[in-house]
Structure 1
Amino acid sequence: MPDGTSPLLLRADTDGGVTTLTLNRAASRNALSFAMLGALQESLAQVATDARVRVVILAAEGPVFSAGHDLREITAHRADADAGRGFFDAAMTRCAQVMQAIVGLPQPVIAQVQGVATAAGCQLVATCDLAVASDQARFCTPGVDIGLFCSTPAVALSRAVPAKPAMEMLLTGEMIGAEHAERIGLVNRVVPHEELAAATMELAARIAARSAHTVRVGKAAFHRQRGLKLDEAYALTAAVMTENLMAEDAIEGIGAFLGKRKPVWRDR
């Protein structure tokens, strides 16, 4: 992966095939400005084609994971000739593209949530494949409080948690704590704040130790089958498993299991 760094997005490569992308606008509460979304989009595109990257961690600097869309930027564009409609459409489209890029990324993405994640910031957490949260993390979708329902965050939220908890968050805009977020399935686990980075990296390293080919096949199939009817989902995944069985890593993995030895992955 290239070593270049965006002024808005600090990218750090780490050992073991784990790449960390860190939102780096702490002074602006890591708001998802149009430029920030563009930086994320660019970095995700680079990661997607880098075979060395096996897992991605999405982290953030400062006390806030992300406050969502940049409301100051949005307000400034109300002075545009079209009262901001063109910019709003472009911003929401770009945000949707970033969220879909995370889902479509070949590698699993783990959110490392150290603080508050609101609105589209909460959407970002819900979109990631996994999430590890500090015990100081909090979450909400407060658009209803400012007359702007969190409709796009609802897409990710409703796919990450059951309908009723999702609707409660969307309709009340109230903040929930990390333990509540874990109970409803918004995050996978909650750890002491000082252990967050280590716990997230430990999870990432365990995934990175698996066959990259198998993990990529599995992630893609998981997301594809979710939108299908039951019979279609089984037809899809049966075909995927058949193809997976033909892969070198499946042959190696099954052979290693039967031979009671550690597999040597070739990632193909």
Structure 2
Amino acid sequence: MTAKPLKVWHDRDGRLLRLRLARPKANIVDAPMIAAIDAALAEHLDDPRLLGVLIDAEGPHFSFGASVEEHLPGQYEAMLKGFHALILRIVAAPVPVLVAVRGQCLGGGMEVAIAGNLIFADPDARFGQPEIVLGVFAPPASVILPERIARCAAEGMLFTGQSISGAEAHRLGLVHTVTEDPERAALDWFDTGIAPHSPSSLRLAVRAARGDYVCRVRDRLAQAEDLYLTHLMQTPDAVEGLTAFLEKRPAQWEAR
């Protein structure tokens, strides 16, 4: 692993905050990665010059998802609360958050991506929430995905764990642009779409467009978190599914 899980710098004369997941090829969204992204946003989002954030990743894949080990008893409560705080910070960001995706964008990685505003993706990228295959569910995706695409499409992904391509995600309205160079497309959109605008007016425009949405996500994520902590993780099947994945064996479900 690299010493730091995240690269942070400013672009476009300080008007664009760049965050790059820097643990290829998996770019696992584990506790250090969550803390690094959250700290970078907390430090820079209040900069009055800032017009946007671009999140991308080193290597061929955006992220394989969260750390399965951190979902086990003794770790999952702290992990979940920290991750949900990060998701809410992204959702409530005062400037547009752009995300450039190549390769796999799964689980917690996909939840980071969909918490932002606009996703730019390679047509062959893969988006998926495979948590149900491990006997658990994805609280942020359960809340955010039905807000972003048709409920039937969202529930299809959440209930089956099957992934979709970047091209299909674009057809569903989850992805803003499909392109062979997502980073370049995101930068071009920033340069032509928002760079000419007043930073203070843009922040008010973001607040006006997302105010209701932010409140819904905050309330419903708290409910989903409670369901996960007080019900799901008290079932034998949840622990069995996670353990079976780590032990590379089929899960033996007890249906309770």
Q: Structure 1-normalised TM-score?
A: 0.74
Question: CA contact under 8 A between 2:70 and 2:79: conserved in structure 1?
Answer: no
Q: What does residue 48 of structure 1 align with?
A: 45
Q: What does residue 221 of structure 1 align with?
A: 208
Identify which of 76, 80, 85 aligns with 1:92: 80
Deviation track 1:211-263 (CA, whole Å, cap 9, x = no partner) reads 1111110111211134789xxxxxxxxxxxxxxxxxxxxxxxxxxxxxxxxxx
Question: CA contact under 8 A between 2:99 and 2:118: conserved in structure 1?
Answer: yes
Bigger Rg over Cα: 1
Gaps of 5+ in 2: 217-256
Question: CA contact under 8 A between 1:26 and 1:62: conserved in structure 2?
Answer: yes
CA RMSD of aligned residues (A): 2.0
Gaps of 5+ in 1: 1-5, 230-268
Give the Cα separation in 2 of the matches to 1:59 and 1:51: 23
Give the Cα separation in 2 of the matches to 1:19 and 1:205: 13
CA spacing shift, 1:64–1:228, aligned 2, 3 Å = closer
What amino acid is the match of 1:203? Answer: W
* Higher relative contact order (CA closer than 8 Å, sequence separation 6+): 2
Q: Secondary structure at the match of 1:202?
A: helix
1:149-160 alignment runs, 5 A limit: 149-160=137-148
Question: CA contact under 8 A between 1:123 and 1:154: conserved in structure 2?
Answer: no
CA spacing shift, 1:151–1:105, aligned 2, 3 Å = closer
Q: What does residue 20 of structure 1 align with?
A: 18
Aligned residues with identical type, % of pairs: 27
Q: What does residue 166 of structure 1 align with?
A: 154
Give the Cα separation in 2 of the matches to 1:227 and 1:18: 22
Give the Cα separation in 2 of the matches to 1:141 and 1:227: 21
Question: CA contact under 8 A between 2:130 and 2:160: conserved in structure 1?
Answer: yes
Question: CA contact under 8 A between 2:92 and 2:214: conserved in structure 1?
Answer: no
CA-CA distance at 1:179 after TM superposition: 1.0
Give the Cα separation in 1 of the matches to 2:213 and 2:141: 18
What amino acid is the match of 1:212? Answer: P
What amino acid is the match of 2:38? Answer: Q
Deviation track 1:5-34 (CA, whole Å, cap 9, x = no partner) reads x8111012112412210011114x111111
What amino acid is the match of 2:197? Answer: R
Give the Cα separation in 1 of the matches to 2:148 and 2:171: 12
Identify which of 23, 26, 29 aligns with 1:32: 29
Deviation track 1:155-190 (CA, whole Å, cap 9, x = no partner) reads 221221121100000111111011110111111110
Identify which of 116, 127, 130 aligns with 1:142: 130
What amino acid is the match of 2:56? Answer: A
CA-CA distance at 1:60 after TM superposition: 0.6
Identify which of 89, 94, 104 aligns with 1:101: 89
CA-CA distance at 1:147 after TM superposition: 0.9
Give the Cα separation in 2 of the matches to 1:98 and 1:136: 27
Aligned residues: 213
Q: Does 1:131 align with 2:119?
A: yes
